[in-house]
Amino acid sequence: MKKVAIGIDIGGTNTAIGIVDEVGTVISRGNIPTDRHADIQLYIDDLASEIERVIASVDAELDIQGIGLGAPNGNYYKGTIEFAPNLRWKGVVHLTDLLAEKFPYPIIKLTNDANAAALGESIYGCAKGMRNYIMITLGTGLGSGIVINGDLVYGHDGFAGELGHVRVVDNGRECGCGRLGCLETYCSATGLVRTAYELLGTSNKPSALREVVNQEKLTSKLVYKYAIEGDELAIECFRFTAEMLGKALADFATFSSPEAFILFGGLANAGDLLLKPTKEYMEANMLEIFKNKIRVMPSELPGADAAVLGASSLVWNELNK
């Protein structure tokens, strides 16, 4: 019998399912559209069928330890998704209770996607053996998972670790949360594009972006493409993003003095365009006592499976407690 965990990543449009072994191999995969049903019970029915199909598709005896789920606004303590703006189910959804009616596993645990990614890093990735680190996920928004003394920080209500909504500019950019100047309005795929628009307005630098912006949708990938081709304005977009992120990381260091910041997601793959200047701005703004102590490193979770791996790691983490 092969010991495995089921990892489920619930995104706004797609729900990905994976059966994962103890070393992080995804043995089988499945998925369903998240947004097909406004009725949560119908969604759970679909999800359960797909989980059963994925289990049946494996040509070996499985010893399933449990289910780990990552979802926006997921609450670890209550197993709920609460007021998630990008999901169709409104209010509070008791997700783990609903799944427990379908599956007999003793472990069915939920947390938000960034927390799941942080755990995944400690079990399958570059944070093995680290007891204090902060995961920063740079996707459409900016998520975070904070590990202190070997444990994820959930806070008194289960919602801790929302570093994307630390205000880095007073009266700064409008954020989807209704507030101004949040970190994720600068440091995320969306933030990078907003920076590009700002620079197209404020600077007179010639740039390939000036041509393409009227022909196609301006995306972070496009800014990246021109930056590696040497376009100065596109490079400046990354430099500014790195400045905002590096300064924020220096501030975060004063809180929990982590061993490392681990960057995850599309932007984190921009390598020297982002990581190197982020590290430089972080050090330049760091309180003396923390200088040259804290690493900034890219995630080692394999991109396509990262979310499912992160979710599945919730199960191993419960077993290791």
Which one of 251, 280, 300, 318 is in contact with its own copies (CB under 8 A)? 251
Residue 102 beta carbon to its own copies: minimum distance, rounded to whole angstroms: 28
Can you say whether residue 68 is alpha, beta or left, with left for phi > 0 and alpha for psi between -120 and 50 degrees? Answer: beta
Q: Which residues contact 1 (CB under 8 A, 6 or more apart)?
A: 61, 62, 63
Sign of the dihedral defined by the CA atoms of residues 302, 80, 139, 245, in that order: negative
Which one of 287, 303, 304, 320 is in contact with its own copies (CB under 8 A)? 287
Residue 285 beta carbon to its own copies: minimum distance, rounded to whole angstroms: 7
Distance, in Å, from the CA atom of 89 to the CA atom of 17, rounded to the nearest integer, reads 20
Which one of 100, 166, 212, 228 is in contact with its own copies (CB under 8 A)? 166
Which one of 113, 121, 162, 305 is in contact with its own copies (CB under 8 A)? 162
Q: Is 31 in the site for its own copies (CB under 8 A)?
A: no
Q: Which is nearer to its own copies, 112 or 220 (CB)?
A: 112
Q: Which string of DSSP letters, residue by residue, matches 167-207?
A: B-STT-SB-TTS-BSBGGGTSSHHHHHHHHHHHHHH-----
Stretch that binds its own copies, among 10-18, 154-162, 208-216, 262-270 (CB under 8 A): 154-162
Q: Which is nearer to its own copies, 177 or 208 (CB)?
A: 177
Stretch that binds its own copies, among 34-42, 92-100, 160-168, 267-275 (CB under 8 A): 160-168
Which one of 160, 200, 212, 213 is in contact with its own copies (CB under 8 A)? 160
Sign of the dihedral defined by the CA atoms of residues 320, 158, 260, 241, in that order: positive
Given the structure tokens 């430089």, which residue do they identify?
Answer: 280
CB 132 within 8 A of CB 97: no
The footprint of its own copies on this chain (CB under 8 A) covers a number of residues equal to: 44
Q: Which is nearer to its own copies, 216 or 288 (CB)?
A: 288
> Which 3 state secondary structure label does DSSP give 59?
coil
Q: Is 119 in the site for its own copies (CB under 8 A)?
A: no
> Which 3 state secondary structure label does DSSP give 27?
strand
CA proximity to 136, closest of 296, 300, 263, 4 = 263
Q: Give the x-and-dash track for 55-84 against its own copies (CB under 8 A).
A: ------------------x--------xx-
Q: Is 148 in the site for its own copies (CB under 8 A)?
A: yes
Q: Is 179 in the site for its own copies (CB under 8 A)?
A: yes
Which one of 109, 239, 247, 279 is in contact with its own copies (CB under 8 A)? 247
CA 225 to chain centre: 23
Which one of 1, 23, 60, 289 is in contact with its own copies (CB under 8 A)? 289
CB burial readout 113-149, b (16+ within 10 A) else e: bbbbbbbbbbbbbbbeebebbbbbbbbbbbbbbbbee
Residue 181 beta carbon to its own copies: minimum distance, rounded to whole angstroms: 10
> Which 3 state secondary structure label does DSSP give 230?
coil
Q: Is 291 in the site for its own copies (CB under 8 A)?
A: no
Q: Is 92 in the site for its own copies (CB under 8 A)?
A: no
Residues of this chain that interact with its own copies (CB under 8 A) are 73, 82-83, 131-132, 146, 148-149, 151, 153-163, 165-167, 169-170, 177-179, 247, 250-252, 254-259, 285, 287-290, 293
